[in-house]
Chains A and B, each alone.
Chain A
Amino acid sequence: MSNDTCGQDPGDRQFREAARWMMRLQQPDLSPRLLVRWSKWQESAENRAAFDALEPIWRALQPPGDNVESTSDQTTPPAELNDPEMFERRSERLQLVSEEAAYWYLLCIDDPHTLRSDRREFLAWLRRSPENIAELLKIAQLGGTLRKLRRTLRSARLTSAGVDDSPPWRSTIKLHRAVDEGSTGSAIASLKLAGIAAAALIGVAVAFVTHQYWESTSIITTGASQWHNMTLADGTAVHVDARSKLEIEYTDAARVVRVHEGSAVFEVAKDPKRPFIARTHLLDAMAVGTRFCVSVDDAVTTTVAEGVVQVTGRDNLNGKAVTLKAGEELRVSGDALTAPRFSRVDAQRKLQWASGLLDLGGMTVSAAAQELNRRNRTQIVVDSPTLAARVIEVASVKVDSPESYAKAVAAEPGVKMILDEEHGQIRLSE
């Protein structure tokens, strides 16, 4: 690429280079090395003039009404619209969701004697996808509509006397009776009551779902490539890392969150009367209002980003307590609390995953891959030991995107990347 600065009008070569850069710059994973080259390319006034002259043409060529795209390749309409097979698969999936929603509606919403195990399973199904919730609500609405229709028919004395169509919920039973008693009255009054009954049914269904949801949030479990952010009743924000399990036990005296495995960052709401305790099998980390992280693996690591956290040993470590300040980290395994070892860390950087990003700058490829692998289903495998030991400068990458990190590494000269979709692996080698 040209770097000369002779101050003349741009020629064909500059225009061609400018066009090439326009194409390249659309790549979301363009390496910083190339971007620096692009920056150097702009040192020439001719090059800049060529680029600026082409820019309006480039804009004019962007798909109409869609002038914001991350890559030129992403201008494709949704793949399923072009691929009949994919379209069919999606239809089949929606059909399946619909069938499942109907099944659960009948089992758990429409039947007052549902087993506890069924309800638990129902809840798990609901939480699996927003599509499931949407479909269930649709069916609940339909359920209300059907009842309304049934009552309308009854008010017109069209139903057979032997049919038992009493609704399951007490509130609606009362309304139902009211409809029966008033069936000699006008059809309009019955219709109104039926409408109220339908609304009540939907309300009860939603309340049931909501109640079950809140009841179940006492245990939070995340799998690979799953993160969970929530705000507890007191305003404390909890960011749960992938492959983690937490249990929330709030009482009037204390706010206790048990960290069984994995990591969680807590942004504790101030409440001097009720201390916040992150409890693990080895220790309690107590705070009043602060931001800190507790990670459980073969040891327990407490990292404090803001404020002060008091760490107290449990069971065999009972009675030992140490205080951690912002920027300090304590790793405890076995009886290590008797001789605590603090380390100074960049806590904000370490806890950055809670905001969805990982700062992998300055880390070896091996260490960065490890950070991503323990959180994601797709695993990065570094085949070359020399590459594993190399430090490759990348800025923050999304915590759920090992692909973007692998691409950044692969952009380095001599590095190859192979995507092994069958085994869910990205292999890097030199």
Chain B
Amino acid sequence: VTDHSARIKALFHEQRDRLKRYFRLRLSSCSDEAQELAQETYSRLIGPDKEVSDWNRRLWCIARNLANDTLAQLQTRRKAKPLLQDEDEDPRTPESAWSEQQAAAAALRAIEDLPERQRTVLTRYREGCSFEQMARELGVNERTCRRDFEQGIVEIQRKIGLERT
């Protein structure tokens, strides 16, 4: 049991920050929530001492399923939002909220300078359009839209980086 626990603990310490990064991105959640989900992943992993050939893979499998389940719960909660207005509090600190707003404003300014197709893809994405739909509208492959999106983000980052320097 000690060996098993020690092995899981070591794995978790190694993967904790990576898990947090995953949850933050997957759920667009703040750091605290990501931390809680990473902890939950660990709790599920230490369950019964099963024969598992690859613990790392198991860990990520649990993380993926936990993210999917949490997303489903959040979506349900969002549907019930009108009834739960009071509970809808921003979990971010004022500083992080301000810093995110600044980054968002800079990103949106930078979109305007992108090549036309990248600009269209990023704008349509922000409007809630799927890549499949964008591909139909633009008459290109879905993969092309995804690539434009990737390149667009990188380009925005470059511009923001230059602004800072």
Is B25 in contact with A63, judged by CB distance below 8 angstroms? no
Identify which of residues 115-165 in chain B touch chain A, using a CB-to-CB cut-off of 8 Å. 122, 125-133, 146, 149-151, 153-154, 156-158, 160-161
Question: Are A396 and B103 in contact (CB-based, < 8 A)?
Answer: no
Q: Does A26 contact B (CB under 8 A)?
A: yes
CB-nearest residue of chain A relative to B160?
A: A57
Q: Beyond A25-B22, A55-B25, is A32–B130 a contact (Cβ under 8 Å)?
A: no
Residues of B within 8 A of A56 (CB): 99-100, 103-104, 107
Q: Measured between alpha carbons, how far is A356 from B17 in the docked complex, in Å?
A: 30
Q: Name the contact of A75 in the complex, choosing from B26, B60, B125 (C-beta under 8 A).
A: B125
Which residue, A12, A39, A72, has most C-beta atoms of chain B within 10 A?
A: A39
Name the residue on B nearest A33 (C-beta).
B57
CB pair B129–A58 under 8 Å, yes or no, is: no
**Does B18 sit at the interface, judged by CB under 8 A?**
yes
B122 near A61 with CB under 8 A, answer yes
* Nearest-CB residue, chain B, relative to A21: B25
Taking a contact as CB atoms under 8 Å apart, the answer to whether B131 and A67 are in contact is no
Known: A16-B154, A19-B150, A393-B61. A38 touches B128 (CB 8 A): no
Q: Mark A46-77, 1 if CB is under 8 A from B, else 0.
A: 00100111111111111110111110111111
B149/A39 in contact, CB under 8 A? no
The 8 Å CB contact of A62, one of B22, B56, B126, is: B126
What does DSSP make chain B's interface, helix, strand, loop or mixed? helix
CB distance from B14 to the nearest CB of A (A): 9
Q: Is A42 close to B, CB under 8 A?
A: yes
Query: What chain A residues lie within 8 Å of B26 (beta carbons)?
Result: 25-26
Q: Is B150 in contact with A28, judged by CB distance below 8 angstroms?
A: no
B28 touches A62 (CB 8 A): yes
Range, interface on chain B = 35 or more
Which A-chain residue is minimally distant from B24 (CB atoms)? A55
Q: B48 an interface residue at 8 Å Cβ cutoff?
A: yes
Q: Do B107 and A77 have beta carbons less than 8 Å apart?
A: no
Determine the chain B residues whose CB is within 8 A of the CB of A30 once the complex forms. Answer: 64
Please, which residues of chain B bring their CB within 8 A of the CB of A32?
57-58, 60-61, 64
Contact of A36 with B by CB under 8 A: yes
Report the nearest B residue to A393, measured CB to CB. Answer: B57
A22 an interface residue at 8 Å Cβ cutoff?
yes
Q: In the complex, A51→B146 CA distance in Å?
A: 17
Contact of A35 among B17, B64, B105, B122 (CB under 8 A): B64
> Given contacts A59-B28, A61-B126, A75-B128, is CB(A68)–CB(B71) below 8 Å?
yes
Query: Does residue B74 face the partner (Cβ distance < 8 Å to A)?
Result: yes
In angstroms, Cα B19 to Cα A42, docked, is 10
A15 at interface by CB-CB < 8 Å:
yes
Distance in Å: Cβ of B16 to nearest Cβ of chain A: 11
Residue contact B58 to A393, C-beta cutoff 8 Å? yes
B54 near A: Cβ within 8 Å?
A: yes
In the complex formed, the residue of B with least CB distance to A37 is B60
**Residue B75 CB within 8 A of the other chain:** yes
* In the complex, chain A residues whose CB is within 8 Å of the CB of B25: 22, 25-26, 55, 58
| B121 smallest CB distance to A (angstroms) | 10
Q: Are B153 and A57 in contact (CB under 8 A)?
A: yes
Question: Is A106 interfacial (CB 8 A cutoff)?
Answer: no
Chain B 12-55 residues near chain A, CB threshold 8 A = 15, 17-18, 21-22, 24-29, 48, 50-54
**Which single member of A28, A60, A68 contacts B107 (CB below 8 Å)?**
A60
Q: Nearest chain-A residue to B19 (Cβ)? A: A39
Q: Provide the residues of chain A in CB contact with B53, threshold 8 Å.
A: 393
B62 contacts chain A at the CB level, 8 A cutoff: yes
Instruction: Please indicate the chain B residues that have their CB under 8 angstroms from the CB of A69 in the complex.
Output: 28, 71
Residue pair A67, B129 in contact (C-beta under 8 Å): no
Q: Measured between alpha carbons, how far is A42 from B25 in the docked complex, in Å?
A: 14
Interface: A224 (CB within 8 A)? no
Interface string of A328-349 (1 = CB under 8 A from B): 0000000000000000001000
The verdict on B5 contacting chain A, using a C-beta distance below 8 Å, is: no
Tell me if A410 counts as interface (CB < 8 A to partner B): no
CB-based nearest A residue for B123: A61
Whether the pair B68, A394 counts as a contact (CB closer than 8 A) is no
A23: Cβ under 8 A from any B Cβ: yes
Alpha-carbon separation in the docked complex, A32 to B62 (Å): 9
**Inter-chain contacts of B17 with A (CB < 8 A):** 42
The 8 closest A-B pairs by CB, nearest first: A60-B104, A35-B60, A56-B103, A395-B61, A60-B107, A19-B150, A32-B61, A63-B128
Instruction: Provide 30 A-B residue pairs closer than 8 Å at the C-beta atoms, listed in order of the A residue.
Output: A19-B149, A19-B150, A23-B149, A25-B22, A25-B26, A26-B25, A28-B64, A28-B68, A32-B58, A33-B57, A35-B22, A38-B18, A54-B153, A54-B157, A56-B103, A56-B104, A57-B153, A68-B28, A68-B75, A70-B75, A72-B131, A73-B130, A74-B130, A75-B125, A75-B128, A75-B130, A76-B129, A82-B133, A393-B61, A394-B61
Given contacts A28-B68, A32-B61, A73-B131, 7 further A-B contacts (CB under 8 A): A25-B22, A32-B58, A38-B22, A56-B103, A62-B126, A76-B129, A393-B54
